[in-house]
Chain A
């Protein structure tokens, strides 16, 4: 065993795991925070919806599409000045979070929009007929009804973020993915590669399981 894991620096693995979890936690919270309102706006401004507005919808849609079409590694570099402005540094965990959020929030917003579209129009109409305001319709009817889809979308987004964090090593953010690339791949340290990939796999499995459970808990169809 010692022979195979000779290259593995366990304290280093622990630090990388912590960094990955910090990046994931921080960026996921902000992604949800920005993604849900953005998704709601995309939905509401859409054709035939409560606040239909073709101009707002087209602009939001274009911004989302631009951000989604830029490869993450390029976004990471392009974002550098903005990142410095926002968090004071472009390095480390803090430096990785802004580009992670900018990369993931538009993606999540689309998933939120799709989940909202799945809600029966009749529910919106019934809430309107009961005298609900647009704000009430969104917060009391649409979001609760779309919750299974919103949580399933959050699971997919969180797992996508895990793989994005690997690339964040470019700005010195650290993390398990970074370790896998620098030691496992570039220095041919297969044991490091195996350990990091197994840990990432465990993380993904855990996220998927947690997500599935949450979705099941709020599904009443």
Chain B
């Protein structure tokens, strides 16, 4: 659906040249929710803007829905942009227009007949629970409502792709949840391909099928969200995942213990695998840190345990046989 090949973007300023994107290759399949994470300055904003060519790459090609965006004439590019919806961190609604006029805006720009515009706007407002707010101005709405208007406006021309530029970063946690559920629902109901950029790992965990990690304008790691989150390979990914997580102090580890990171996925998350294995090989374990959660709806558990007083090697072998991923973290203490 979306393919970026060798996309490079440089910014020149008095301070010199800065490479915002460095030969980025990305493929987003139709119907996927694709997340791009990175710290501020990593190039996320530039990356998402190259997809609809709000930023024109200095090198490389961008293809959306079979059309090479980078090769289009201005009028063709404008037509192609109408098939790509976009929502923003600060909503970017027109303050002078009412909610209904904002939603009608892209349809009017396209020159659709008034009757059709009215019908489509009424449908969208209803679909997004905004029917009673049609005559209000954006200033009278809450953040969550404004983002709903942004989404309604982005969907007006029935796009196949929705670009989300930090769409939940200005919202409180509750509203973030609401907007993410909405995006998830749109992805399922309309088969909408969604690309979102964010610095909130939680957003990726909730809605993204696949994720790419961006650092200094390069994609340093990408893959299925669960794979990347549970078994991060790049230091930048690990650092971002470690934020806000409680670690454990080495001093707390029981002496003579063997440390292991266990990852349970899917149905086995809720099975008492660990205690079964411990009983059968006669090993004790202390849980040092852990998290049981879901990634894009799939349950998982990840524990760091210290095995003591038994055959730790046998425990590891049995756990592995039962489909639990076991990683060494620092050996014995």
Contacts and interface: CB of A to CB of B under 8 A. Distances in A.
Contacts of A220: 95-96, 137-139
A125 B109 contact: no
Contacts of B81: 128-131
Closest 5 CB pairs of A and B: A122-B92, A126-B92, A220-B137, A131-B82, A130-B106
Contacts of B90: 120, 122
Interface residues of A, number: 21
Contacts of A141: 94
B10 interface: no
Interface in B77-130: 78-82, 84, 86, 88, 90-97, 105-106, 108-110
Best-buried of A130, A144, A220 by chain B (most CB within 10 Å): A130
A122 B54 contact: no
Given A140-B105, A144-B97, A132 B78 contact: yes
Q: Is the interface of B mostly helix, strand, loop or mixed?
A: mixed
A136 B107 CA distance: 13
A131 B96 contact: no
Contact of A123 (B94, B137, B157): B94
Best-buried of B93, B94, B105 by chain A (most CB within 10 Å): B94
A148 to B, nearest CB: 8
A33 B139 CA distance: 31
27 contacts: A120-B90, A123-B92, A125-B54, A125-B92, A126-B86, A127-B105, A128-B54, A128-B81, A129-B84, A129-B86, A130-B81, A130-B86, A130-B105, A130-B109, A130-B153, A131-B78, A131-B80, A131-B109, A132-B78, A132-B109, A133-B78, A141-B94, A145-B95, A145-B96, A220-B137, A220-B139, A221-B139
A204 interface: no
Contacts, number: 66
Interface size class of chain B, counting residues whose CB lies under 8 Å from the partner chain = 20 to 34
B92 A131 contact: no
Interface in A91-124: 120, 122-123
A125 B110 CA distance: 16
Given A129-B86, A131-B106, A131-B109, A218 B96 contact: yes
Interface in A160-194: none
Contacts of B106: 130-131
A128 B55 CA distance: 11
A144 B109 CA distance: 14
